[in-house]
Amino acid sequence: MDSNDGSDSGVIDRMIDDHYLALRARFCDAHVRVFIEANMSFVDAHRHAARLEDAQRGFGWLAVERHDPHGKLHRYGVWTSKDTKNEYVKCIQLGIEQLRFAEPDSYRTSDAKGPDALKQELGKQLKFFHREIEEPKATSQALFYKSFWTGKSAGKKDDLVMVLGIALYNANRLRTSPEFRTWCAAKFGTACP
């Protein structure tokens, strides 16, 4: 689909391109990993991945993560389950004190409000993010209560918290992977921390 059309997909494509090109201009030598949440549609994740990995676009070194819990290695994107959401929360709790925002001119928001509005919205979403208790089903013999994290309720969104969690969790997962340690040793002659 052409990113110049006026459809929702076209708007999202332009937003992704603008955001990525602004980051690439600032960090021209960076090795970029892209995480696309694919819970709603792995077809959309694949379409975005194909656009980003297209060498003709001049995006530089870029890899779109494939982390399908169902073992379908050809699928682009990452899937969020209740278990991985718990891991996201742990990473956010550990990393929130070190959170720093990029300078305002290095990223774009999907609306005209700008980065300060984005920071305020993330703050609101973090405050509302909470644990809910799920009662056992009446058909279950065992009476185990389950809990899960959410930020969704009555018109509330949790998309910014999810983006932060996905970024922190997957960055840590990649940083501690044998693949990354091998890359560090080859690039720097030493193991990365």
CA 31 – CA 29 distance, rounded (Å): 7
Is-above-0.75 flag for pTM? no
CA 90 – CA 99 distance, rounded (Å): 14
Q: What is the DSSP letter of 135?
A: P
CA 13 – CA 15 distance, rounded (Å): 5
Written as tens digits, the pLDDT of the chain (193 aa) is 344 455 677 777 887 888 788 777 877 777 788 888 877 677 888 888 888 887 666 777 777 877 766 666 677 888 787 788 888 888 888 877 777 776 655 555 555 566 777 788 888 888 888 888 877 776 666 667 777 777 777 777 888 888 888 888 888 888 888 887 887 788 777 766 5
Which residue matches tokens 């890359």?
Answer: 183
Q: Say how many C-beta atoms besides its own lie within 10 A of residue 81's C-beta.
A: 11
